[in-house]
Amino acid sequence: MRNILIIGAGRSASSLIKYLLDKSETENLHLTIADLSLELAQKKTAGHPRATAIAFDIFNAEQRDTQLSKADIVISMLPAHLHYEVAKDCIKHKKHLVTASYVSPAMQELDTLVKENNLVFMNEIGLDPGIDHMSAMKVINEIREQGGKVILFESFCGGLVAPESDNNLWNYKFTWNPRNVVLAGQGGTAKFVQEGTYKYIPYNKLFRRTEFMEVEGYGRFEGYANRDSLKYRSVYGLDDALTLYRGTLRRVGFSKAWNMFVQLGMTDDSYIMENSENMSYREFVNSFLPYHPSDSVELKLRHSLKLDQDDIQWDKLVELDIFNPNKKVGLIDATPAQILEKILSDKWTLSPEDKDMIVMYHKFGYELNGERKQIDSTMVCIGEDQTYTAMAKTVGLPVAMATLQILNGNITTPGVQIPINKEVYEPILKELEDFGVVFHEKHVPYMGYNANNVVS
């Protein structure tokens, strides 16, 4: 019996656990599902004979030691900053490790030790990062194998609501961690390269610099820049590419509306608002507006944002019920960002019958035999229900598949790594197609980076 220790049984672990349990007989697996909440871990095992649920405290070194020593491989679905302690113990007990998180500087520093112990520490093997890396490298390497040179790469991904569940003016609902949505784009200037020129977008301008794209069968989307696209130039071997841009996808109009919150200061997470527990939604809005002896909150807000009464942006604000004097924030010592998250969660939480949707879009521009060519690659995945969401599927399945590939000796290159090697991405992308995660690649006339698509 081969033992897989899964630490963290949150939303993204549903499809991961189901995949491994479905394979547990043929692959001779036993899963230990460890979570701070024993109830949650038990719920994910669903009484399966080849799974054991345990209450697990990541800060309990003795418990970590005990559980890791019994495992053949470890999957950490913890928040990114908690992987490091698990990683050190994996080296100590000579266990492979799989995570869906970005490689942190601390994790990267373990690379030499990981290689010395002939271990595979596979990171960034979820959705974004993860499926984006694998699907991009597949096409980039195919272009190179033909003798082509990639000169442009754009990549976008978004967790959205499925068309049949899209019933608000924002065309958006929370399909992942709401806090990450509220804080998106903060903590650094967006950096990318466009037609050979380095570009920088500060946070206060981020949501007014969007690029538009069509996804066949699903209509038009917009993308805003991710924080640092430049770090992937060397990773993808695109140091000479004229354009490299990674972004987040939303439905058209979302970014312009979201920018209202940014300009007002409602996404700020750096200070606590006084008496937040007793504050009404209306008082929250008013706290960002200048005093006036007679003007209403609505009038002051319209004036501040330069909105006409018949502007769709105004309707979007009204839809959120943010002018309600009777709704209380109810959060003690809350930051503006935390209060905004609470307000949005009232309206943007998926209903039991709602389905989510993942959309990924890549654009590859390349030169081959003196000609410039372009490939557009798109993937749309729609969730099944509230447990097996598109997000859980696209994050969890690659993690599970990589775990099994490592366990079976098919992925052997040691070190702290991400899934950009053929031995990793080829079998996983192929198997993902069986689960409806399919990329459609299309050759189109070369367009380059279309400056007309950018709203400045």
The pLDDT of residue 122 is above 60: yes
Say which residue, 285 or 455, is predicted with more confidence.
285
435 alpha carbon, distance to own chain's centre = 19
Secondary-structure breakdown of the chain: helix, strand, coil percentages, each rounded to the nearest 5: 35, 25, 40
Note the pLDDT tens digit of each residue in 182-234: 998 887 899 999 999 999 999 999 999 999 999 999 999 999 999 899 988 99
pLDDT the model gives residue 455 = 34
The answer to whether 4 and 97 have CB atoms below 8 angstroms apart is: no
Q: Span 325-339, mean pLDDT?
A: 96
Reported as type and span, the H/E element at residue 255 is helix 254-264
Note the pLDDT tens digit of each residue in 277-309: 999 999 999 999 999 999 999 999 999 999 988
Note the pLDDT tens digit of each residue in 379-406: 999 998 888 889 999 999 999 999 999 9
pLDDT the model gives residue 80 = 82
φ/ψ of residue 289, rounded to 5: -115, 150
Place of tokens 């991710």: 226
The pLDDT of residue 337 is above 70: yes
pLDDT band at 449 (very low <50, low <70, confident <90, very high): low
Find, among 211, 147, 172, the residue nearest to 373 by Cα. Answer: 147
What percentage of residues in the chain have a pLDDT greater than 90? 87
| Measured distance CA(46)–CA(50) in Å, rounded | 10
pLDDT the model gives residue 450 = 55
Note the pLDDT tens digit of each residue in 219-231: 999 999 998 999 8
Three-state SS letters, the chain:
CEEEEEECCCHHHHHHHHHHHHHCCCCCEEEEEEECCHHHHHHHHCCCCCEEEEECCCCCHHHHHHHHHHCCEEEECCCHHHHHHHHHHHHHCCCEEEECCCCCHHHHCCHHHHHHCCCEEECCCEECCEHHHHHHHHHHHHHHHCCCEEEEEEEEEEEEECHHHCCCCCCCCECCCHHHHHCCCCCCCEEEEECCEEEEECHHHHHHCEEEEEECCCEEEEEEECCECCCHHHHCCCCCCCEEEEEEEEECCHHHHHHHHHHHCCCCCCCCCCCCCCCEHHHHHHCCCCCCCCCCHHHHHHHHHCCCCCCHHHHHHHHCCCCCCCCECCCCCCCHHHHHHHHHHHHHECCCCCCEEEEEEEEEEEEECCEEEEEEEEEEEECCCCCCCHHHHHHHHHHHHHHHHHHCCCCCCCEEECCCCHHHHHHHHHHHHHHCCCCEEEEEECCCCCHHHCCC
Every domain of the chain and the residues it spans: 2-122, 131-255+352-391+420-453, 258-348
The pLDDT of residue 135 is above 90: yes
Give me the chain's average pLDDT, please: 93
Note the pLDDT tens digit of each residue in 11-22: 888 899 999 999
Query: Do the bridges between strand 371-382 and strand 356-368 make them parallel or antiparallel, or are there none, so unpaired?
Result: antiparallel
Note the pLDDT tens digit of each residue in 44-101: 898 999 999 999 999 999 999 999 999 999 999 998 888 999 999 999 999 999 999 9
| Measured distance CA(343)–CA(102) in Å, rounded | 29
The pLDDT of residue 176 is above 70: yes
pLDDT the model gives residue 451 = 43
Q: Span 336-347, mean pLDDT?
A: 96
The pLDDT of residue 452 is above 60: no
State the CATH architecture for 2-122. 3-Layer(aba) Sandwich (3.40)
What number does CATH give the domain 131-255+352-391+420-453? 3.30.360.10
